[in-house]
Structure 1
Amino acid sequence: MCPRRISLACALLAAAASGAAFAQASAAFPCKIVKFVVPYPPGGSSDLLARMLVPGMNKLLDTTVVVENKAGAVGNIGTAQVSAAESDGCTWLLGNSSNIVVSRNLYKLTHDPVEYLKPVAEAAAVPMVLYVNANLPVKTFDEFIALLRKNPGKYSYASPGSGSTHQLLTEMMKIEFGLQAEHIPYKGSGPAIQDVIAGHVAFAFEGTSAIAPHVAGGKVKALATTGAARSNVLSTVPTMKELGHPKFVATNWYGVFVPAKTPDALVARLNAGLRQVVKSPEIVESLRKLDSRASDLDVAGFARFARFVQEEIPFWKSLADQTGVKVD
């Protein structure tokens, strides 16, 4: 597993092209109502991020952006809906690494998101954290690995769904350290976290922002994070890189997508608008609390984000092939 950004990092911030962007933003937007599809249930990271962006985009575009949660099949249902929508700029998707570049390797999809969607801008990127049930008799990552090696097959792990980045990352860890643990897929991160807390499953990977409150409350123990640097919200937890495992540098990325035939001029306008919105102090602070970090896409237009998505494709295909993950 090569060092990657599986990325929720605040991108979208280019002020360099602001002159043209402001001129475009002031013109009437072609849609009176924009449907912003979140392919997951309300309350998760994707939903929260989309709703963060809406007020600023409403004001900037002088339109009404409405979030629509279209959950199911690990994000594939909502993703397919946007893939098949009109290319008029009136339907957006809050996509992430799972439903854009992972699922295509594991599911038989009616619409390949890489082919049927056009990247607009990265919205954020957040590292993952390996966490365990509070009563598991380990305090460190090394103790955790030793425990699983001594008890092959005794402990199971949770994920928010088959084919998720969480599952692939765990399966890669199993291969790397010679572990045996059964995969228990859930319908979202919330139920997975609750079953780790309850002790029905022993451990899981999750975004740092989602698990940090449970760590602070003593409900679970965090053993390691996958960021290139220590987490903003779990600063006492070592990174996998610090522990001598640089293959596990990974962040889960999120971005805005539109149907593939949407005109480039309109996509450029949305890209500039999103970058303007994310510059606001309120959103910068909100993203920091979500453990979002700046990335090299901060000053990039939509073409750079499109290249980034293309760069992710072979990595995730290779990881799916190496782990042999099958949809449960």
Structure 2
Amino acid sequence: MAFPSPQTSGRRRAAYGFALAATFAAAFAGVQSTALAAADTPAYPCTTLRVVSPYPPGGTTDILARIVAPGLSKRLGVPVIVDNRGGASSNIGTEFVGRAKGDGCTALLGNNTGIVINRSLYKLKLDPTRALAPVGEVASVPLVLYVNTALPASNVGQLVDLVKASPGKYSYASGGSGSPQHLAGELLKLERHLDLIHVPYRGQGPALSDVLAGQVPIAFETTTALAPQLKSGRVRPLATTGAKRARALPDLPTMQEAGFPGFVIENWYGLFVPAETPAPLVQRLSDDLNAVLGEPDVAAKLAEMGSGDVRGTPAQFRAFIGKELPYWESLVKRSGATVD
């Protein structure tokens, strides 16, 4: 805004003064309106919201939890703490939240492993689809088939030939039995009749660390967790598992393009609370989560990870999970995957 010069006429100075006063009045009215809106929103009924990540730090679930936590804290008006409770392919953290009080103070940043896949592999102490209430989906990202740079394979075909030439010699890592990364490896074995050993870890972070160290040469990982290593050239990507090429890796072929028709696997993630959580609280969390996911900086981070806009209502997320159950049950049976 241009300020008037000392030569400005009295009339113009007066007009300017009235305009300035009107501007301040409008701004004050806006502040009052915002304050009233905030006053209309009831205080969140917890001093802290604990978001459990059922994996160790470093994996995609943990990364996503820490991306949404600051925004949720700001909107809810309470601290949001990410609590890593890894182990048993996410079953420990998932069960912890499933048994927690439904008071809105404890939530789970879960994924398809703990919510729908493990039901076909483990004798669970509780059924996540019954013990947990869906709040909203957070992200959905493809996997990347990658290898340690010491492995002499630059594409999927070369990798298959290498493994076939030495049955039982090579292994692949995953963040735990039943994870999409595990099932992707089993599907690779099934499609090409490969003798490839599965090495499960307590999370994708430790699995990635051992591939980087050369302890295990092959793995599948999300574009999210693998991004830093891809940029630094510490691993060699061979293909992605999405239905189309990943936005972050446009030059990398999909598994379908590499000669594996129908090989499409994506990892999805969402926020959950104990099933007995009152519906108004679930809706409050859903609304605030959607608002956070729509913030430009958060949306940009999710896009970099390869996730599109997955915002929706709790009912829509529940219906989506219902459709996912038979898909993953079928994949477990078809691949012959077992708990190692």
Interval of TM-score (by shorter of Structure 1 and Structure 2): 0.7 to 0.9
8 Å CA contact retained: 1:105, 1:317: yes
User: Which one-letter code corresponds to 1:327 in the other structure?
Assistant: V
Shift of 1:25: 8.1
Match of 1:14 in 2: none
Shift of 1:167: 0.9
CA distance in 1, matches of 2:40, 2:281: 10
Match of 1:317 in 2: 329
8 Å CA contact retained: 2:86, 2:202: no
User: Which one-letter code corresponds to 1:266 in the other structure?
Assistant: L
Q: Which moved more, 1:303-312 or 1:68-77?
A: 68-77
8 Å CA contact retained: 2:135, 2:272: yes
Matched, 1:103 2:115: no
Residues 241 and 63 (structure 1), Cα distance of their counterparts in 2 relative to 1, 3 Å cut: same
Residues 203 and 59 (structure 1), Cα distance of their counterparts in 2 relative to 1, 3 Å cut: same
SS at match of 2:167: coil
8 Å CA contact retained: 2:238, 2:252: yes
- Picking from 277, 298, 319, the partner of 1:307 is 319
Shift of 1:84: 0.6
Bigger proportion of residues as helix: 2
User: Which one-letter code corresponds to 1:168 in the other structure?
Assistant: L
Shift of 1:24: 11
User: Which one-letter code corresponds to 1:70 in the other structure?
Assistant: R
Match of 2:275 in 1: 260
Q: Which moved more, 1:154-163 or 1:92-101?
A: 154-163
8 Å CA contact retained: 1:158, 1:183: yes
Match of 2:16 in 1: none
Identical aligned residues as a percent: 48
Q: After superposition, where does 1:242-281 map in structure 2 within 5 Å? A: 242-281=257-296
Match of 1:7 in 2: none
Residues 189 and 307 (structure 1), Cα distance of their counterparts in 2 relative to 1, 3 Å cut: same
Runs of 4+ in structure 1 over 4 Å off: 22-25
Match of 1:141 in 2: 156
SS at match of 1:122: strand
- Picking from 137, 143, 152, the partner of 1:122 is 137
Q: Which moved more, 1:213-222 or 1:97-106?
A: 213-222
| Consecutive unaligned residues in structure 1, runs of 5 or more | 1-21
TM-score, normalised by the number of residues in structure 2: 0.84
Larger radius of gyration, structure 1 or 2?
2
8 Å CA contact retained: 1:25, 1:61: no
Match of 1:132 in 2: 147
Query: Of the two structures, which has the highest relative contact order with CA contacts closer than 8 Å and spacing of 6 or more?
Result: 1
Residues 24 and 230 (structure 1), Cα distance of their counterparts in 2 relative to 1, 3 Å cut: farther
- Picking from 33, 37, 40, the partner of 2:48 is 33
CA distance in 2, matches of 1:290, 1:83: 28
- Picking from 176, 197, 212, the partner of 1:182 is 197
SS at match of 2:191: helix
Q: Deviations over 1:201-222 (max 9, x none)?
A: 2211111122232233332211
Residues 266 and 233 (structure 1), Cα distance of their counterparts in 2 relative to 1, 3 Å cut: same
C-alpha RMSD of the superposition: 1.9
- Picking from 218, 227, 247, the partner of 1:232 is 247
CA distance in 2, matches of 1:25, 1:80: 35
Shift of 1:72: 1.7
TM-score, normalised by the number of residues in structure 1: 0.87
User: Which one-letter code corresponds to 1:316 in the other structure?
Assistant: W
CA distance in 1, matches of 2:40, 2:280: 12
Matched residues, number? 304
| Consecutive unaligned residues in structure 2, runs of 5 or more | 1-36
CA distance in 2, matches of 1:93, 1:80: 10
Match of 2:179 in 1: 164
SS at match of 2:154: coil
Shift of 1:94: 0.4
User: Which one-letter code corresponds to 1:241 in the other structure?
Assistant: Q
8 Å CA contact retained: 1:159, 1:192: yes
- Picking from 93, 103, 109, the partner of 1:88 is 103
Q: After superposition, where does 1:57-72 map in structure 2 within 5 Å? A: 57-72=72-87
Q: After superposition, where does 1:11-30 map in structure 2 within 5 Å? A: 26-30=41-45
Match of 1:223 in 2: 238
CA distance in 2, matches of 1:177, 1:55: 45
